[in-house]
Amino acid sequence: MKLHFQRRKRSRTLIAACSTVALTASVAFGNISSVFGVVQHESSNTTPANLPSAALAASSLIRVNQHGYVPNALKRASLVNSSNSPVAWQLRNSSGTTVLSGNTTVFGYDASSGDTLHIIDFSGYTGTGSSFTLAAAGNVSHPFDISSTVYRQLKYDALAYFYHNRSGIAITMPYAGRNDLTRPAGHIGIAPNRGDTNVPCAGGTGCSYSLNVVGGWYDAGDHGKYVVNGGISVWTLLNQYERNQYFGSSAADFGDGRMNIPENGNGVADLLDEARWELDFMLRMQVPADQPRAGMVHHKMHDANWTGIPLRPDQDSQDRVLRPPSTAATLNLAATAAQGSRIWRSLDPAYSARLLSAAETAWAAARANPNVIALDSDGTGGGSYGDPQVGDEFYWAASELYITTGKAEYKSYLQSSSYYQDVPSDYSSREPAMTWGTTEALGTISLAVVPNNFTSSELAGVRNAIISAATVFANNTSTQGYGTPLSAPSTGYPWGSNSFVLNNGIILGLAHDFTGNASYLNAMSQGMDYLLGRNAMDKSYVTGYGENPLQNPHHRFWAFQANGSFPRPPAGAVSGGPNSALQDPYAQSIGLPGCKAQKCFVDHIESWSTNEITINWNAPLAWVAAYLDEKAGALTPPTATPIPATATPRPATATPIPATATPIGPTATATPIVPTATPRPATATPVPSNTPVVPTQTNGSCQVSYTVSNQWPTGFTADVTIKNNGAAINGWNLAWTFAGNQQISNLWNGNLSQVGQAVNVTNVNWNGYLATGGTASFGMQASFSGTNAKPSSFNLNGVACSLAP
């Protein structure tokens, strides 16, 4: 287990906490005077005087996705209201006509926000249009659209972030989208720039050469370029491409000519062109063959000292330096270059071969130098990105190399790793599901998505790991008043909490791919609702989207708040969002310390700990937006009716809406997540590839738990868990007979056969292996009339099982 929850935040703190140099220019915001890293305040007013008041939407107590909802998806809003009884709500169209009405469900106190909430579920309305509003308890929400194309543009705007933050190329029209967003090329050696074409090692780092490291993406608000941040960002874009090849239906949306970048028309998918811009930079960061630690990769390169805000990249006069190589950076190149090699194999064989050579060279160098650690203390002029534990990077790199080459040495390494089949989902001590410093899930995902030489049981193991984590995230949405797939640990929300929501969304999307269970898709959709306004701040954390969008991210060029001659940000950039640690002086000085997790945020350019933007946060935004857009037209109309007016009031201290509440979602197949699914342990044992075992045990070798999770007059949902107490089983069949007229209409995580009252459920391809003590779970939705009696007996592969108490 990788225990570095606090360490990660400390690493990022150094990005600005060590910025002791003064701004290149002093900045005034009404009563606020600022130098970078040090802010003095004469007022608690956080609205800068030079920001037009018309741009600031009045807050509403009805928190909605301010951009819009998909017609046939789950559609929920949160109402801040202290009443212990349901209140009436109305959904109104642009003409003010009520098109749906109902009563709220009382949620009660929401710990992550400190708000007392009601839930409005308007999934029963499947019409389309613009400027809908919700009204309840004297409040009216921000307007929003209902359309199957609500995420169509966002998936492109999120990717445009990368072009805007390219280094070494002029940002020009028509690709910039707005004239004020154009700028000269940064860091190409034209005065006052020192340039990135001949960057020396920093003094005292033990190397004496210089490298041409032009290109790549600027990481965040500063002009540094970091291999570990670039690594997960490249991987996410390439994974989006690979997932489309094997599970998706929207590959053409990112093909040649579909993105607004200079390379469109070159015969290669635009998504790959953008990823290659960074991948080429990472190749340039590799230590030359004739130097000490040859084949390793420099951890980062950036200015020798911190620069101020505002500053165009071409105006940066600081010396540029290479920081020392690290094992983590070396493995990031090994992983992403291996991933890229298989993708470009048929597109550009020479480039593919170059990537594979670099990947295997990096792997060998990392094995020879397994403990060259990037230090948290290396934070002058750029973020430190310290990472003392690199076992997860070794596992990730071995996974990508195995998929690409099929070599037994890589398979042996990855399967012997303690990170094998790991997808973190426990927020109490880890950073799930993936960050730049927590990368094991990347390897597990690639093994689960991209065809390789895994056996069926090995494939089942990695996919089951993803599904187990997704189940945790999906169930989080029912325990959070704002429906987030993110639960707050006792320490509150971490730095970049919005990226956690997005990366959890990737896990949820993949679980939906593997199972078809729409509950995972609903949870993913609710995560996007949170980012786009259904949150305690009544804020869309994405620039250009919603009535109250992000406006002032921490960025040196998109710095209108600091200087009106600089541009506002383009649409599609996502803020890191609430951060309970509040490392920056600005957030600390305006009264935020002690804030509830969701309220530890301020939309101000100086708040680098809550309002930073980065490449590795926009990459999952692009992935999730594309996934939701792809699935928007595939959802079936809801069978659910609005919450009835006679709903029983929930007490003020009520527990959150259960994951199994009916309806869980508006689709006919949107069945509840199994609430008792147990997350996999962090050090899961590899699934053996043994042949099917014929059980010879007697009664007691297996146990079945059958739980009716929800019931209404004509139907019910049930969860079934099989526990194998005998010898290992590879392939199972659970049989029972209903006592009444129950008819299963939908079943997930298993294959159904029902004839009359007799039922047989067999495993799907990923959950057929049951080790001794192992469990498998599936769920169902069924109809009945009269009495819904539980089955009295079950047989597993022909052997009678005991019933769980």
Q: Note the pTM of the prediction, 2 decimals.
A: 0.77
Least confident of 51-60, 425-434, 613-622: 51-60
Do residues 267 and 333 make contact, with C-beta atoms less than 8 angstroms apart?
A: no
CATH 2.60.40.290 positions along the chain are 702-803
CATH architecture classification, 702-803: Sandwich (2.60)
Tokens linked to 228: 């570990």
Strand arrangement, sheet containing 225-226: 225-226, 300-303, 320-322
CA dist 324 and 689 (Å) reads 42
Mean pLDDT, range 431-453, rounded to an integer: 93
pLDDT greater than 80 at residue 400: yes
pLDDT band, very low/low/confident/very high, at 177 (cuts 50, 70, 90): very high
Least confident of 278-292, 679-693, 713-727: 679-693
Q: pLDDT per residue over 729-763, tens digit each?
A: 888 999 999 999 999 988 877 889 898 899 999 98
Q: What's residue 116's pLDDT?
A: 98
Do residues 566 and 592 make contact, with C-beta atoms less than 8 angstroms apart?
A: no
At 786, is the secondary structure helix, strand, or coil?
coil
40 vs 355, higher pLDDT: 355
Do residues 107 and 536 make contact, with C-beta atoms less than 8 angstroms apart?
A: no
pLDDT band, very low/low/confident/very high, at 689 (cuts 50, 70, 90): very low
Q: pLDDT per residue over 195-211, tens digit each?
A: 999 999 998 888 999 99
Helix 518-531 × helix 456-479 angle, to 10°: 50
Catalytically active residues are 554, 603, 612
The half-sphere exposure of 480 on its side-chain side, counting CA atoms within 13 A, is 28
What is the assigned CATH class of domain 5-38+151-632?
Answer: mainly alpha
Mean pLDDT, range 528-535, rounded to an integer: 98
Mean pLDDT, range 151-175, rounded to an integer: 98
Q: In 3D, which of 626, 659, 613, 656 has the Cα closest to residue 498? A: 613
Mean pLDDT, range 336-344, rounded to an integer: 98
CA dist 482 and 535 (Å) reads 6
pLDDT greater than 80 at residue 435: yes
Q: pLDDT per residue over 592-633, tens digit each?
A: 999 999 999 999 999 999 999 999 999 999 999 999 999 997
Q: Are strands 144-146 and 68-69 parallel, antiparallel or unpaired?
A: parallel
Q: What's residue 25's pLDDT?
A: 33
Mean pLDDT, range 141-153, rounded to an integer: 97
Q: What's residue 635's pLDDT?
A: 55
Percent of the chain with pLDDT over 90: 74
647 vs 604, higher pLDDT: 604
CA dist 482 and 529 (Å) reads 9
pLDDT band, very low/low/confident/very high, at 57 (cuts 50, 70, 90): low
Q: Which residues contact 149 (CB under 8 A, 6 or more apart)?
A: 629, 632
pLDDT band, very low/low/confident/very high, at 777 (cuts 50, 70, 90): confident
CA distances, 355 to each of 113, 361, 396, 466 (Å): 46, 10, 16, 28
CA dist 547 and 534 (Å) reads 12
> Euclidean distance between the first and final Cα of the chain, in Å?
33
CA distances, 761 to each of 582, 726, 780 (Å): 51, 20, 11
Listing DSSP states for 414-438 in one string gives: HHHSTTTT-----TTTS--S-BTTB
Q: Which residues contact 384 (CB under 8 A, 6 or more apart)?
A: 11, 14, 15, 374, 375, 376, 377, 378
Other Cβ atoms within 10 Å of 694 Cβ, number: 11
Q: What's residue 9's pLDDT?
A: 28
pLDDT greater than 70 at residue 129: yes
Q: pLDDT per residue over 539-573, tens digit each?
A: 999 999 999 999 999 999 999 999 999 999 999 99
Q: Are strands 199-200 and 758-762 parallel, antiparallel or unpaired?
A: unpaired
The backbone torsions φ and ψ at residue 84, rounded to the nearest 5 degrees and listed phi first, read -85, -5
